[in-house]
Structure 1
């Protein structure tokens, strides 16, 4: 299959492709989303930035003449911003960065599982998701509002493409900055005509091992609850044969982001880069891994949230 990092640009419109780049270290966590919108009458591109210091998002739109894409090697330019598979030169009005991605950890793949979508990667879907790197070194310099930060931390990269995000989904992602561990999780309502179902994709990365949970591997949700206390708390239990993943997520410091619907970025969702996730992973009766991730990314969209008594 085509390299997921590269541009696919399907012929049908509306359509979007977006690259999600995250960096994390002790003093700052930030995310950069670079995307292209193909509509029937025009092509637009955008850059969206958020961080844990200012707790706001910055969104800039670019016209088609400011967009250039080269396939091999992959280069995406938005005016003065340049994205490659190994680096990002970011030029926004109030934010600039020069970042390098080293020692990227790719998802294990096979013909049955060419991407995190498994066999669904071969089907026309509302939204195709790809994990580009579970864990890597990110280094360089970031300048926001004339204050600069030396970046020497851990990075994560993923990508989405399609027409719209799911109407209901939970997305969680976290890495530890001091060791090779990380977790990606997405639970979403998947419309696949003539049916729809709840799809599960998750990867726990511990000491260079990848443990994958997915609907196409037999994973199912045993429990999922959303409760509003001071913050939103989410309890999830996923079973997959002898494997069990238990999560307690706490969403903190929500920031509003633009998100795609029918190729356009006119809806808003809430994302946090400062959430908490307690994880217990077991095989049979044996607990293999238990830990708490801080400074995690978390989105909760479309699910009803109960008020705590």
Structure 2
């Protein structure tokens, strides 16, 4: 990993990888009539013949998902910034242009991202991973490209055009060898108040021959970004989860934060194991997440419920607590 890549987690990290590797970007666009998640990426298996690019799509309006595979040679990524192209489909932080035709899917148009809120990158903490970003052998790395932004432009899905102007957008990514054995992932930026966004990931993390429960996330309320994770010294004081619900309480040095999540309708996604997209997971983009923040004196300073929320509860009952 180069110094430039380390401090620009949004860029393609897999330039020197040859096998057992995946990388994917998650672009979410939300309006009341339609929520779309579009996930471009690459997957490397054990040899050069076992490589491909992909674009996965989830649509709330159609209540389904698609996984379109492409030859690996069709994947192009800029060295210095987030610019990914796969057979005429172009992804940057500022806009995505889609021209997808597959079995049961016609998706075309351009959506623009306005007023991006990039996640802070510093020497001490180069992104949402904190100092764990410096450890090269982590199973899975996570990056947040934009905590929230507004949208313009329109996309046509199977003949139905959605004007996303004024809608809400979010961008994150993952890369590494495999997704964790078990995890909870919660994300929403569709709250009653403007400029509110959150993300929380809790997972079983293999590290130096052992497995520990790790987590990371943030709550953004206006101009305030509350970041927390195993690396900040924060602690999970309660975790309750089943196949459709999760309740997680976190204590930081300054706040008490609670997430209460309810899964909505789900769609299937392909997920990586040793680089191969051979796992099937379920994701909802129509869940709800209630976020509460209390100060050191337990005084409630924020509580709202986000809709059009991304939720994955993958083997979550096998986490801990």
- Measured against the shorter chain, the TM-score band is over 0.9
Aligned counterparts, 1:3-42, within 5 A: 3-9=8-14, 10-11=16-17, 13-39=19-45, 40-42=47-49
* Displacement after TM superposition at 1:5 (Å): 1.7
Q: Which runs of 5+ in 2 are unaligned?
A: none
1:83 aligned onto 2:91? yes
**Corresponding residue pairs, total:** 302
Provide the C-alpha distance between the structure 2 equivalents of 1:34 and 1:290, rounded to a whole number of angstroms: 33
8 Å contact from structure 2 (residues 190, 309) kept in 1: no
Please tell me whether residue 51 in structure 1 is matched to residue 56 in structure 2.
no
5 Å-filtered alignment, 1:224-303, equals 224-227=239-242, 232-284=244-296, 285-303=298-316
Structure 2 contact 42–72 (Cα < 8 Å) conserved: no
Equivalent residue runs for 1:153-172 within 5 Å:
153-172=167-186
Distance 2:43 2:92 in 1: 19
Residues in 2 aligned to 1:64 and 1:17: alpha-carbon distance in whole angstroms: 13
Q: Per-residue deviation at 1:135?
A: 0.5
1:148-201 C-alpha deviation (Å, 9 max, x unpaired): 111111110001110100111100000126610011110111111132211111
Higher percent of residues as strand: 1
- The Cα of 1:12 is off from its aligned counterpart by 5.0
How big is the alpha-carbon RMSD for the aligned residues of Structure 1 and Structure 2?
Answer: 1.6
| Counterpart Cα distance in 2 of 1:218 and 1:95 | 44
2:132 aligned counterpart, secondary structure: helix
User: Aligned residue for 1:67?
Assistant: 75
Q: Aligned equivalents of 1:154 and 1:303: distance in 2? A: 28
TM-score (norm 1): 0.93
- Equivalents in 1 of 2:95, 2:87: separation in Å? 16
- Is it true that 1:181 corresponds to 2:196 in the alignment? yes
Return 5+ residue gaps in structure 1 as ranges: none
Which whole-Å CA distance do the structure 2 matches of 1:12 and 1:112 have between them?
A: 29
Aligned to 1:150: 163
Asked if the contact 1:200/1:219 (under 8 Å) is kept, the reply is: no
Contact preservation (8 Å) 2:271, 2:279: yes
